[in-house]
């Protein structure tokens, strides 16, 4: 019993595996994992990559959206899923801090769920960010270039020029989130 509790605690603290989705009642087999060969051999420093503003994501209506629309403003980008407990905890922390964050900071939520309807349903009873959308394959490849781990949540801190200041994995403390938001220029 103790080993099972310790194992469960390790999974919860580590985060959710962003390459699989939880089984539904009609299908108990997990979705196939992402191709490990597609991940880069070693992560790159965020400063070695181009700006995030050149990437596109998908809004909840299925339309492509360029992150360039947020150029000139710092961003906190949450990479999450509706079924991921640590992701939901991280989102709650961000929303609790939102009122004390500098107004210039935009908070973006990008889900890795298998469909926008899951996100829309979740947002009916939970607070939304400044923009909610779906992470595109292009965006996730950019993330994997920095951090090849499939775990979520991930929180990306981006300055007003589109440069990634940090990509944090797992739940973030309120103190860390507040400091990062304050220091983004």
Output the tens digit of pLDDT for each of the chain's 185 residues.
444 444 433 444 445 655 444 433 333 333 334 444 444 455 656 656 668 999 999 999 999 999 999 999 999 999 999 999 999 999 999 999 988 888 889 999 999 999 999 999 999 999 999 999 999 999 999 999 999 999 999 999 999 999 999 999 999 999 999 999 999 99
pTM for the whole structure: 0.76
> Half-sphere exposure of 103 toward its Cβ, with a 13 Å CA cutoff?
0
Number of helices (H), then strands (E), belonging to the chain: the values are: 5, 9
pLDDT of residue 99: 86
Q: What are phi and psi of 162, to 5 degrees?
A: 90, 5
Q: How do the domains of the chain map onto residue ranges?
A: 51-183
pLDDT of residue 144: 94
Closest C-alpha among 57, 65, 67, 66 to residue 160 = 67
CATH, domain range 51-183:
3.40.30.10
pLDDT of residue 33: 40
- The pLDDT tens digits of the residues spanning 81-96 come to 999 999 999 999 999 9
Give the helix/strand (H/E) hosting 53.
Answer: none
pLDDT of residue 24: 39
């Amino acid at each position: 019993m103790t080993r099972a509790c310790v194992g469960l605690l390790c999974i919860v603290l580590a985060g959710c595996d962003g390459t699989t989705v939880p089984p539904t009642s009609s299908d108990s087999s997990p979705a196939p994992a992402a191709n490990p060969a597609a991940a880069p051999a070693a992560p790159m420093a965020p400063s070695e990559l181009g700006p995030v503003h050149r990437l596109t994501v998908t809004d909840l209506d299925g339309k492509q959206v360029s992150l360039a629309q947020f150029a000139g403003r710092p961003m906190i980008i949450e990479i999450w899923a509706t079924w991921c407990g640590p992701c939901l905890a991280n989102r709650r922390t961000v929303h609790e801090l939102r009122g004390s964050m500098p107004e210039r900071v935009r908070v973006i939520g990008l889900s890795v769920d298998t469909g926008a309807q899951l996100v829309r349903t979740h947002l009916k009873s939970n607070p939304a960010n400044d923009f909610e959308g779906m992470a595109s394959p292009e965006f996730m490849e950019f993330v994997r270039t920095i951090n090849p781990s499939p775990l979520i949540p991930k929180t990306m801190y981006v300055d007003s020029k589109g440069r990634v200041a940090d990509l944090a994995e797992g739940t973030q403390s309120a103190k860390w989130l507040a400091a990062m938001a304050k220091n983004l220029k």
